Amino acid sequence: MSEFQGFDKQVFHFSRFNFQKSLRAAILQIIFACPPPFCYNESMQRTLDDIFSEIRKHDPRYKEDAYDFVLEALSFTQKKFKRVKHVTGPELLEGIKILLMQRFGPMTVTVLKHWGIEKTEDFGNIVFNLVHNKVLSKTDDDHIDHFRDVYDFDKVFNKGYRQHLHRKVSRLR
């Protein structure tokens, strides 16, 4: 734990709130290019919470957890594609798909519905809400159309998960 000296010690507790605090600290480091150790502080936390609240006043379709997840998926996708900054919409959706399967497995569609997400375009709406509120940036080539109908949730997360599980079980035999 010595490499994380300077962190609020509560970040290391595994309650949901503190997990989100550490996750948001990592996201803030990526977004705002804070030098290590992470530049997390309470005012930044409130700022991100305020931004999510403001977004949800204008667009209440998606829960705050959906915004948290998209930011986490962005970080995951940047690592997956070895990018320091920009990833495309389809690349982000690929990272989202992988992270959702790892995190929620067969419950993915249920979690997405709880968050208000029913299709890939919803992830694009979340991304562009974050862009409009200056949490993320975009290039001139980025458009909401890049998120439209990229994959079908039922095929990927229900049928696809069962096929993936069947292959895993078959390899164990």
CA distance 118 to 14: 29
Long-range pairs, 89-98, Cβ under 8 A, ≥24: 89/124, 89/127, 89/142, 89/143, 89/146, 89/147, 89/150, 90/146, 90/150, 92/123, 92/127, 93/120, 93/123, 93/147, 93/150, 93/151, 96/69, 96/70, 96/123, 97/151, 97/156, 97/157
pTM above 0.75, yes or no: no
Give the lowest-confidence range in 63-77, 94-108, 127-141, 149-163: 149-163
Residues contacting 109, CB < 8 A, separation 6+: 153, 154, 157, 158
Query: Residue 6 is encoded by which pair of tokens?
Result: 């300077």
| pLDDT grade for 123, boundaries at 50, 70 and 90 | very high
Using alpha carbons, select from 25, 33, 37 the residue that is nearest to residue 1. Answer: 37
Q: Spell out the domain ranges in the chain.
A: 63-172
Contact call for residues 123 and 70 (beta carbons, < 8 A): yes
Cα three-residue angle 106-48-69, rounded to 5 degrees? 10
pLDDT for res 12: 36
Model confidence at 78, pLDDT cuts 50, 70, 90, reads: very high
Residues 6+ apart with CB under 8 A from 154: 109
The span from the CA of 145 to the CA of 59, in Å, is 19
What confidence tens digit (pLDDT) does each residue in 1-27 have? Answer: 444 444 333 333 333 444 555 566 556
C-alpha angle 60-64-67 in degrees, rounded to nearest 5: 100
With 50 as the cut, is the pLDDT of residue 40 above it? Answer: no
